[in-house]
Amino acid sequence: MMASATRTFPKGFLWGAATSAYQVEGSPLADGAGPSNWHRFCRTPGLVKGGETGDVACDHYNRWKEDIGWMKELGLTAYRFSISWSRVLPEGTGRVNEKGLDFYRRLVDALGEAGIEPNATLFHWDLPAALEDRGGWQNREIADWFAEYARVMFRALDGRVRMWATLNEPWVVSDGGYLHGVLAPGHRSIFETPLASHNLLRAHGAAVDVYRAEGKHRIGIVVNLEPKHPATRSPQDLAAARRADAYMNRQFLDPLLLGSYPEELAGIYGEAWPEFPAADFDAIRRPIDFVGVNYYSRSVVKHEPKAWPVAAGRVRQPGMHTEMDWEIYPDGLAEILLWVGERYGKVPLYVTENGAALADPEPVEGIVHDPVRVAYLADHLRAVRRAMDGGVDVRGYFAWSLLDNFEWSQGFSKRFGLIRVDYATQKRTPKASARYYTKVIQSNGAALDE
As to burial, measured by CB atoms within 10 angstroms (0-12 exposed, 13-18 middle, 19+ buried), residue 46 is exposed
Amino acid at 9: F
Q: How far is the CB of 25 from ligand FCB (least distance, A)?
A: 13
Residue 404, interface with ligand FCB (CB under 6 A)? no
SS3 content of the chain, % helix, strand, coil (to 5): 45, 15, 40
As to burial, measured by CB atoms within 10 angstroms (0-12 exposed, 13-18 middle, 19+ buried), residue 215 is buried
Task: Give the residue with the Cβ less far from ligand FCB, 93 or 354.
Answer: 354
Task: Give the residue with the Cβ less far from ligand FCB, 97 or 322.
Answer: 322
Catalytic residue among 169, 226, 264, 327: 169
Q: Which listed range, 108-116, 168-176, 242-250, 341-349, lies at the site for ligand FCB (CB under 6 A)?
A: 168-176
Residues 176, 254 contacting (CB under 8 angstroms)? no
Per-residue binding string, ligand FCB, 212-231, x by CB under 6 A, is ------------x-------
Helix H segments across 254-346? 264-269, 279-284, 331-344
Among 284, 341, 407, 421, binds ligand FCB (CB under 6 A): 407
Residue 169, interface with ligand FCB (CB under 6 A)? yes
Residue 398, interface with ligand FCB (CB under 6 A)? no
In whole angstroms, what is the distance from residue 200 CA to residue 194 CA?
Answer: 10
Per-residue binding string, ligand FCB, 277-316, x by CB under 6 A, is -----------------x----------------------
In whole angstroms, what is the distance from residue 134 CA to residue 75 CA?
Answer: 43
Per-residue binding string, ligand FCB, 114-153, x by CB under 6 A, is ----------------------------------------
Q: How far is the CB of 118 from ligand FCB (least distance, A)?
A: 18
Residue 168, interface with ligand FCB (CB under 6 A)? yes
Residue 172, interface with ligand FCB (CB under 6 A)? yes
Q: Which listed range, 30-38, 85-93, 165-173, 239-247, lies at the site for ligand FCB (CB under 6 A)?
A: 165-173
Among 164, 416, 436, 437, binds ligand FCB (CB under 6 A): 416
Q: How far is the CB of 277 from ligand FCB (least distance, A)?
A: 30
Q: Which listed range, 153-161, 164-172, 181-189, 202-210, lies at the site for ligand FCB (CB under 6 A)?
A: 164-172
Among 79, 408, 436, 437, binds ligand FCB (CB under 6 A): 408
Per-residue binding string, ligand FCB, 322-361, x by CB under 6 A, is -------------------------------x--------
Would you call 353 a catalytic residue per the annotation?
yes
Which one-letter DSSP state was computed for residue 386? H
Catalytic residue among 192, 327, 353, 407: 353
Residues 6+ apart with CB under 8 A from 203: 123, 142, 143, 145, 146, 147, 166, 167
The torsion angles phi and psi of 24, rounded to 5 degrees, stand at: -125, -30
Would you call 73 a catalytic residue per the annotation?
no
DSSP 178-247: IIS-SSTT----TTHHHHHHHHHHHHHHHHHHHHHHH-SSEEEEEEE---EEESSSSHHHHHHHHHHHII
In whole angstroms, what is the distance from residue 3 CA to residue 109 CA?
Answer: 39
DSSP 3-68: -SGGGSPPTT-EEEEE--HHHH---TTGGGPPPBHHHHHHTSTTSSGGG--SSSTT-HHHHHHHHH
In whole angstroms, what is the distance from residue 261 CA to residue 172 CA?
Answer: 17
Strand partners, 345: none
Task: Give the residue with the Cβ less far from ligand FCB, 118 or 355.
Answer: 355
Query: What is the contact surface with ligand FCB in residues (CB under 6 A)?
Result: 20, 23, 168-169, 172, 224, 294, 353, 400, 407-408, 416
* Catalytic sites, residue numbers: 169, 353
